[in-house]
Structure 1
Amino acid sequence: MLNQFINVAVAEKLAALRTERYFQERAARANRADFLAMLEKAGTGTLIEGDELPPA
């Protein structure tokens, strides 16, 4: 039972470290200008029927 606990703890730590490394690698490849251009386009499309906000 203690071995299983240790295995789970190690697996969770490895998963967290891999996730952190993944996001660091993605951030290193990021291009701020491309991101800002994408944000400029957000919300400019036509509304899809059924996707409206409910009345307040």
Structure 2
Amino acid sequence: MSALSLRLPNSVHRHVKEFAQKEGVSINQFIASAVAEKVSALATEDYLNARSEQADKNAFDAILQNVCDRPPLSGDEF
């Protein structure tokens, strides 16, 4: 594990402290978890973008042509 010095605006630090206390974790644990969530989200976005570049749009359109044309189920309307 490595150490990192982090400067936060006072207002952000205050919110982090409040939420960490509310969650019952240390400020360090709270920030580490928040950073891990962000890294995971960015990695997922990169993965999905890479996968979408491999997509065969013609095959996708062909599959959609096989979908029945019927009204949406109750609750699924626009």
Shared fold per TM-score greater than 0.5: yes
Identity of matched residues, %: 43
Alignment correspondent of 2:37: 12
Name the Cα RMSD after superposition.
1.7
Instruction: In structure 1, list runs of 5 or more residues that go unmatched.
Output: 45-52
For these two proteins, the number of residue pairs brought into alignment is: 46
Verify: 1:23 aligned to 2:48, yes or no. Answer: yes
- After TM superposition, the score normalised by the length of structure 1 is 0.69
The one-letter amino acid of 2:32's match is: N
- After TM superposition, the score normalised by the length of structure 2 is 0.52
SS in 2 for 1:25: helix
Q: Which of these two proteins has the greater Rg computed from alpha carbons? A: 2
